[in-house]
Amino acid sequence: FLSLSLQAKMSRPVQARRLEGIDKNIWVEFVKLAATYSTVNLGQGFPDFPPPDFLKEAFVRALSGENHMLHQYTRAFGHPPLVKILAQFFGKLLGRDLDPMTNVMVTVGAYQALFCCFQAFVDEGDEVIIIEPFFDCYEPMVKMAGGMPVFVPLRPKAPKDGKLMSSADWQLDPAELASKFSERTKAIVLNSPNNPLGKVFSRGELELIADLCVKHDVLCISDEVYEWLVYDGKEHIRIASLQGMWDRTVIIGSAGKTFSATGWKVGWTVGPNQLLQHLRTVHQNSVYHCATVAQEAVAQGFQRELELYGKPESYFVQLSNELQQKRDWLVQSLDAVGMKPIVPEGTYFLVADISEFKSDVPDVPDSDEPYDSRFAKWMVKNKGLAAIPLSAFYCGANKNNYNHFIRFCFAKEEATLKAANDILQKWKREKTSP
Ligand code: PMP
């Protein structure tokens, strides 16, 4: 019996090769730390305020209304009312006729849309260009598909005298970007507005990327989940609308960010059928479809937004106004204590320079862990304030080049931002009066 049970123990390696080196995940680690220690959580990107009433009501109607078929499976590539309204909405934004059945696919959040893209387009050895700092999942997802991520950084320029730095001061070097394109390049990932910096790429910057994509016949995976969260009158430009780009771009969006309901996990892709047909192949052989009631409610949310498009009552207009105000509060709080903020042009996020606070945090000279990561852990444990180290948004080789910044999420209730301000003010007082 004993020998049988010894034999029954597995001795062969069980892990598939594609998982090598991608087992660590910043969110798993920092979400746990925030849950254990934080009193104020400005870490992971989600609102702590509710979604709008019209969206919650639509969900309740879908859940308890007469159409009990909303509790059953729906069409694999998107619940018909949702793909129809998305085709109408994005058709209007892009100025082209979109077919709901072939130009739109609904996914389990933008996360699954990204996964479908990498699985559908990236072959063993293909290179995928990723602009640093980047939403961290791009790198492991490219690797899981057998591809090679190739990184190119946004480089910060010093701001004009006395001014706070803006996310617009972080720019691509055109020659450096061009040098990353080769015949091995299959795709570039663009994320505008960008997580974590909040950078909104200008038309000029997008044209630079678009020209290189066309010249080298490269695909563009355009992660636009923060498309409505753009401030100071800036415009979100869709790269798919630039010359030569529609045929080679997949647009990715998220109801989580669009309607402040990140837990619903409804996302979508919009693009030409010759690209989306391959996403459908991955999707039908993996998750198949996402929750029907959530899709129905999001469809109703978009119906409302289409009717109110550009009007002051539009949620998209109101949300960006509210978030701009929240951004300004956090900018002021951080600036007042000397944790210099980089003013974001969009998104939920703001990156701040922690250099002036270094003396407070005990250093571990021989640690492999980037300084900002140790700082963020110390801060949540000792000050109760959770944030995410910027190095988490860089590849391994570049983590230590950008290790004196942390990212805060300001999509939070006024009371939460005030509590963060109180922590920062108290910390500052303790620093100046030992
Ligand atoms: N892309 C970016 C840039 C993100 O910040 C996020 C969420 N943090 C996602 C994609 C994933 O979105 P979803 O929650 O809809 O899966």
Summarised one tens digit per residue, pLDDT across range 176-201 is 999 999 999 999 999 999 999 999 99
Q: Are residues 45 and 83 in the same domain?
A: no
Task: Please indicate, yes or no, if residue 8 is contained in any of the structural domains.
Answer: no
Q: What is the CATH number of the domain that holds 394?
A: 3.90.1150.10
Task: Please indicate, yes or no, if residue 15 is contained in any of the structural domains.
Answer: no
Q: Are residues 248 and 390 in the same domain?
A: no
Of 308, 337, 363, the one marking the end of a domain is 308
| DSSP-derived 3-state class of residue 36 | helix
Contact 220, 188 (CB under 8 A): yes
Task: Please indicate, yes or no, if residue 255 is contained in any of the structural domains.
Answer: yes
**In 125-193, which residue ranges form alpha helices assigned H by DSSP?**
138-144, 174-180
Mean pLDDT of the chain: 95
Q: What is the CATH number of the domain that holds 173?
A: 3.40.640.10
Q: Are residues 135 and 105 in the same domain?
A: yes
| DSSP-derived 3-state class of residue 407 | strand
Contacting residues for 144 by C-beta, under 8 A, at least 6 apart: 18, 19, 22, 118, 119
pLDDT tens digit string along 294-346?
999 999 999 999 999 999 999 999 999 999 999 999 999 999 999 999 999 99
Task: Please indicate, yes or no, if residue 6 is contained in any of the structural domains.
Answer: no
Percent residues over pLDDT 70 in the chain? 98
Q: Domain tally for the chain?
A: 2
Task: Please indicate, yes or no, if residue 336 is contained in any of the structural domains.
Answer: yes
Q: Are residues 97 and 186 in the same domain?
A: yes
Q: Is the CB of 196 under 6 A from ligand 1?
A: no
Contact 327, 350 (CB under 8 A): yes
247 falls in which pLDDT band (50, 70, 90)? very high
pLDDT tens digit string along 225-236?
999 999 999 999
Q: Are residues 280 and 294 in the same domain?
A: yes
Q: 7-11, 203-207, 245-249: lowest mean pLDDT where?
A: 7-11
Lookup result for tokens 């509590």: 419
Ligand 1 centroid distance, CA of 110 (Å):
5
What integer pLDDT is reported at residue 363 of this predicted model?
A: 73
Using the atom order of ligand 1, give the atom closest to the CA of residue 194.
Answer: 3
Task: Please indicate, yes or no, if residue 27 is contained in any of the structural domains.
Answer: yes
pTM: predicted TM-score of the whole model, two decimal places: 0.96
Task: Please indicate, yes or no, if residue 10 is contained in any of the structural domains.
Answer: no
The residue segments making up the domain with residue 71 are 53-308
Of 308, 329, 357, the one marking the end of a domain is 308
Q: Are residues 37 and 82 in the same domain?
A: no
pLDDT tens digit string along 116-146?
999 999 999 999 999 999 999 999 999 999 9
Task: Please indicate, yes or no, if residue 18 is contained in any of the structural domains.
Answer: no
Lookup result for tokens 């937004």: 305
Query: Best of 117, 195, 228 to mutate for ligand 1, by most ligand atoms within 8 A of CB?
Result: 195
Q: Are residues 204 and 65 in the same domain?
A: yes
Asked if the model's pLDDT at residue 433 lies above 90, the reply is: no
Using the atom order of ligand 1, give the atom closest to the CA of residue 114.
Answer: 10
